[in-house]
Amino acid sequence: MLTLSQKERDRLVYLRLVQEGQLSVSEGARRAGVGRRHFRRLLRRFEAEGDQVVVHGLRGRASNRRLPQTVRERALEKARQPLYHDFGPTLLAEHLARDPEIGCVHPATLRRWMVAEGLWKAAAQGKRHRKRRERRAAFGELVLMDTSIHPWLEERFGQEIVLIALIDDATSRLSARFFPRDTGAANRQMIVDYLRAHGRMGSLYTDRASHFQANWRAKQRKEADEPEALTLIRRALDALEIELILALSPQAKGRVERLFGTLQDRLVKELRVAEVATMEDANRFLDEVFLPFWKERFTVEAREPADAHRPLTPDVDLLRLFAERDERVIREDFTFRYQNVYLQVEEHEAEPRMPGSRVTIEHRLDGSVRYRWQESYLEPTSLAGKPARKPQQKEVPEEPQIQKPTTRPTPRPSADHPWRRHPIRVGRAAAGVSAAPPLRSGAALTP
């Protein structure tokens, strides 16, 4: 049984017409789209073999370029191992290339093998149409930032860790680091590390987490005379002239969302293969292995070769800009209280204008605490106890001596006073009811 394509059927018709003399060899070759010499060879074989001459001789035979059966068996055996149970064809092909017994296997070939063995199932189609936003033109114009909470080390690490990543929109260049929690300090540290490595980006695209947007009520903003509540990161970025863009939905920052989809598939498995079990080793694996691999494999060339990052000026102190701040009032004796400890400003640092003003306490990302008054930094010493207050001498005017009136005894009427002889009758006495005689001492009450 021969299954012929439409092209092969047409070629068979041309051969019959030439054999019957209705077409010339030249016309038959032209219609068949082959040369005259080749058409004559087909015609001779057609007269000898029949219709099967139009079927290619290698149909139904294995390709001479196919991989050995041992390679297929070895690849499928590795795909069934628990270590690679959730690997896709593309990632598994990269790991198989490291095995000298297997070598390079194209992901499409490996996908066919895995589908035939039931180890892989193609994703369902039918998603609705979306239009991808065009990349920015130059490296550093727009950087997207987000955090992913995911079991990155699976059950090998007892605590949960998060991955904070920044990806450039124009080139997909990646900067990432693991942290214990998604805190404001962790996000500030990630931004500071990026600024030190590359400079000031044009815009930073993030979500609406509390690190980037403060949820003040309108009444509180009105009382503070601020049209918009500013977080610590927002104030620092404004000082550096970096635009902060807050996304209205996860789809708006789709590039960094797709990034975490890739990392949650690839990075988790690479950490498993490398037997990474601590956060410190995971960060070391990121810096030494995965990020160089990402730069080589997934980054693209920007449309414009110029670097859009702006350099940091020498007078910029990133630790000061991204430090948490508290304020305290300096007292008359040049002391102030912070965290239940009294601190004394030394005499060589004291200024006459200090009492009554505020000192700023900076908690920096490197763990240090700095005390700043206006633009100068102080080095106060802690006191063992509460500083003694000087008694305040106030002149109190002498009050005039006022002679208090002497108290007189309450007057009591005499025995022959008319009030006693003609008392005012009220209540039952006024109604003519006789009052009960007074009880003698020791008398008993009768019902």
179 pLDDT band (50/70/90 cuts)? very high
Residue 18 φ then ψ, to 5°: -70, -40
Residue-level pLDDT at 424: 62
Q: Mean pLDDT lowest for which of 123-127, 323-327, 341-345, 358-362?
A: 123-127
Residue-level pLDDT at 427: 54
pTM of the model: 0.66
Residue whose C-alpha is closest to residue 179's, from 212, 154, 155, 150: 150
Residue 270 CA to residue 285 CA, distance in Å, equals: 9
443 pLDDT band (50/70/90 cuts)? very low
Q: In what order do the strands lie in the sheet with 162-168?
A: 174-179, 162-168, 142-149, 203-206, 243-246
Whether 282 has a pLDDT exceeding 50, the answer reads yes
Mean of per-residue pLDDT scores for the chain: 84
Sequence-ordered strand ranges (E) for 159-261: 162-168, 174-179, 203-206, 243-246
